[in-house]
Amino acid sequence: MGVQIVCRHSDPVWHPACSVSTKSGLGGEARFRLRQAMQDMSRSGTAGELRLDALIADLWWRVRLINTDILEEEAKAGVFDASQPTYPLLALNLRARRDNLVSTIGVLEQRARSMSEAA
């Protein structure tokens, strides 16, 4: 028989125990240990916390990139005051996007804190 990957998790997170290739003739005890390891990992919540932390870090990186883009647009136009009528439209749009990302990050950080306190 062929090789199959055993995973009964409904979430798309990578689980180390799920990446074990097994032959279909895997013994009952080994199957039990594999299933137990997968259940322990899904209950721990650490995978979700790690994903959330990675998402937050990625969003902060994007905020820094947008800040750089805003500064470049302001420098090109020679206008640094957003209230000026000659302020670049792209910089205004980037500011709005950055502000939305920062707001989203705040919500995600609050969720991460509540997850860590609950654990």
What are the boundaries of each domain within the chain?
3-44, 46-118
Q: Which of 107, 103, 77 is nearest to 92 (CA)?
A: 77
Rounded CA-CA distance 95/117 in Å is 33
Q: Please give the pLDDT value at position 92.
A: 98
Q: Which of 56, 60, 95 is nearest to 74 (CA)?
A: 95
**What's the CA gap between 16 and 4, in Å, rounded?**
15
Smallest Cα–Cα separation from 78: which of 69, 88, 68? 88
Most confidently modeled range among 1-10, 47-56, 86-95: 86-95
- Judged by average pLDDT, the poorest of 50-54, 59-63, 102-106 is 50-54
| Distance in Å from the first CA to the final CA of the chain | 42
**pLDDT one-digit tens code per residue, 77-117:** 999 999 999 999 999 999 999 999 999 999 999 998 888 88
* Predicted TM-score of the model (pTM): 0.59
* Average pLDDT over the chain, rounded to an integer: 77
